[in-house]
Amino acid sequence: MKISRIAVASLGLFATTAFAQSSVTLYGVADAGIEYLSNVPSASPGGSNQVRMTSGNMSTSRWGLRGVEDLGGGLKAIFELESGISFDTGAQNNSTRLFDRSAFVGLGSKYGQLTLGRQTTPMYDTTLQLDPMGFAPRYSLFKMDDVLAGRADNAIKYRGIFSGLTVTGLYSFSRTGGGEVPGNYKVDRNMGVSLMYETGALAVGAVYDEIQGSTVATADRKDRRALIGASYAFGPAKAFIGYRWYNGNVGALPTNGSNIYWAGLRYGLTPALTLTGAAYYTDSRNSGADPFLFVASADYAFSKRTDVYMNVGYALNRGNSQLGMNGYNSTTGSPTNVVPGKDQTGVVVGVRHKF
């Protein structure tokens, strides 16, 4: 829903100059479904099956506001506020943050866009385009490594598009929002840069991301990730392939180093029906805990704004790996997704509406 030239002076959304034109857009996604999972941890030693309602399966359920003001001479002011919602309960996804997904303001011109605040990392922006599942919150590449869907507080970000080449860079003074530490600029620092080149049917992307420890004691620790991938469209089909390298001692991944490989195909069977198949493999260094994730998806669009979907997935755990359809088990508490070492089958059927 788009509201142009909103006359609400108390909110600072009304531009009084003759040349300035401003607009605010209310937008969002409502996504909910019913999910079946096998081998879920329970009172039974071998685990149990589970049927539950879930929110945010193909897209995170959310609402937001975007604003733009024309400042003249090709310059514009922009802002965005975005909040995640659990549609199964009506609660905020993050009880401590109203706008947990984004909150930034900045300026844009033909030379690019510069923004300040909480925003997605270059790693997120690039991976979103290279995952055959479209980086869905579940049953996708995101579940192999949740930092791939990174957001950073206290971040300055640049994004420019030049004849098919998109350049993105980000520097966060305190990624998790703990606050900058006087005298130690490394604490909780996050840096990232990416290049995405698109020409005709081909898209190729590469990205590097680096995270420092979030306390003074861990400030010299680093998590480093590099990712490269490509997609190619031919007729109604689009093929994807990619690789992610990781090495570090900050995060909560099962080991200090791993590689992820993936490939997939998206096929438009009809203008309304899209079929997707994807395979993801994690190679954990110095460990036999190397799980596979296989996903098949069918999506039927009633319109540009409303669709229904069914995703079927299978997590194949090896060497006591602990990958479930909704991510890895917690390394700091009780298992939450799958019985350690057991495989898991998942099926989710749902509806999604974009407004």
Alpha carbon distance 341, 315 (integer Å) = 10
| pLDDT band, very low/low/confident/very high, at 7 (cuts 50, 70, 90) | very low
Q: Residue by residue, what is the 3-state secondary structure of 254-286? A: CCCEEEEEEEEEEEECCCCEEEEEEEEEEEECC
Q: What is the pLDDT of residue 18?
A: 39
pLDDT given at position 8: 38
pLDDT, one tens digit per residue, over 118-145 is 999 999 999 999 999 998 888 999 999 9
What number does CATH give the domain 2-354? 2.40.160.10
CA dist., res. 77 & res. 88, Å (int): 36
Judge contact between 144 and 127, C-beta under 8 A: no
Residue with tokens 């590469």: 206
The Cα–Cα gap between 116 and 110 comes to 18
Our measurement of the distance from residue 210's CA atom to the centroid of its chain's CA atoms, rounded to an integer in Å, reads: 17
Query: What CA–CA distance (Å, rounded) separates 58 from 51?
Result: 18
Q: How much of the chain, in percent, has pLDDT values that exceed 90?
A: 78
What is d(CA 127, CA 129) in angstroms, rounded to the nearest whole number?
5
Instruction: Provide the residue ranges of all domains of the chain, joining segments of one domain with +.
Output: 2-354
Measured CA to CA in angstroms, residue 231 lies from 63, 78, 80, 181, 203 at distances of: 29, 30, 29, 41, 5
Other C-beta atoms within 10 Å of 55: how many? Answer: 21
pLDDT score, position 319:
87
Q: Quick one: tokens of 113?
A: 């866009």
Element containing residue 308 per DSSP (H, E): strand 306-316
Averaged pLDDT of the chain = 91
Q: 18 Cβ partners below 8 Å, 6+ apart?
A: none
User: What distances in angstroms separate CA 280 from CA 54, 206, 333, 338, one per listed residue?
Assistant: 23, 18, 26, 18
Q: What is the pLDDT of residues 261-283, one digit of tens each?
A: 999 999 999 999 999 999 999 99
Strand partners, 261: 243, 281
- Using DSSP, state whether 10 is helix, strand or coil: helix
Q: What is the pLDDT of residues 280-323, one digit of tens each?
A: 999 998 888 899 999 999 999 999 999 999 999 999 999 889 99
- Single-letter residue type at 220: D
Average pLDDT on 223-252 reads 94
CA atoms in the 13 A half-sphere facing the CB of 38: 12
**pLDDT tens-digit profile of 139-164?**
999 999 989 999 999 999 999 999 99
The token duo for 42 is: 């329970």
Using DSSP, how many helices (H) and how many strands (E) does the chain show?
1, 21
The CA distance from 162 to 205, in Å, is: 15
Q: What percent of the chain has pLDDT over 70?
A: 92
The pLDDT, as a whole number, for residue 333 is 62
